[in-house]
Amino acid sequence: MNNIASEANADCSQALAQLQTLQDALAQLRVETLGAALLAELAQAQQGLLAALPPHFFEVLMQLLSRLESSALFTEESCSFSRHDLLDSLQSWLDKAGQTLETQASRQTVHPPDRLS
């Protein structure tokens, strides 16, 4: 049972580290030191994070990244959605992913069974 708890903690730690990687990448995108295509590539490479989240998180992330990459091809005025709004939506996704991981981590805490004397 302890091995299972250790593996769950390691998976959660990896997912949280990958989430932080995406937080940092989003910050770089906001100040334009990282491009949308590189952020999308980086996000898709975070397999530990994506595997730790429910499937709908992957679907939503792929939609956001697709729209973000498309918006990068146009100027703000000619695009049907605002880059600022997309970045805010991506931040919201990251926040919700973090909350979900924290909830999962608290549920995976394994307590040893009470021993009867």
What pLDDT shows up at residue 112? Answer: 41
In a domain, 45, yes or no: yes
Q: What is the pLDDT of residue 115?
A: 46
> How many H helices and E strands in the chain?
5, 0
* 112 within a domain of the structure (yes/no): no
- Is 34 contained in some domain? yes
Tell me if 115 is assigned to some domain: no
| pLDDT on residue 34 | 95
**58 domain residue, yes or no:** yes
pLDDT at 2: 52
Q: Which two tokens stand for residue 107?
A: 């549920």
Q: Is residue 116 part of a domain?
A: no
Q: Which residue has the tokens 């595997």?
A: 51
Query: In terms of Cα–Cα distance, which of 3, 94, 24 is closest to 53?
Result: 94
pLDDT tens across the length of the chain (117 residues): 455 455 556 688 899 999 999 999 999 999 999 999 999 999 999 999 999 999 999 999 999 999 988 887 776 555 566 888 999 999 999 999 999 999 988 887 654 444 444
Give the domain extent around 64.
Answer: 2-107
> Greatest CA span in the chain, whole angstroms?
74
Instruction: Give domain status of residue 13, yes or no.
Output: yes
Total domains in the fold of the chain: 1
With respect to residue 114, please indicate whether it lies within any of the assigned structural domains: no
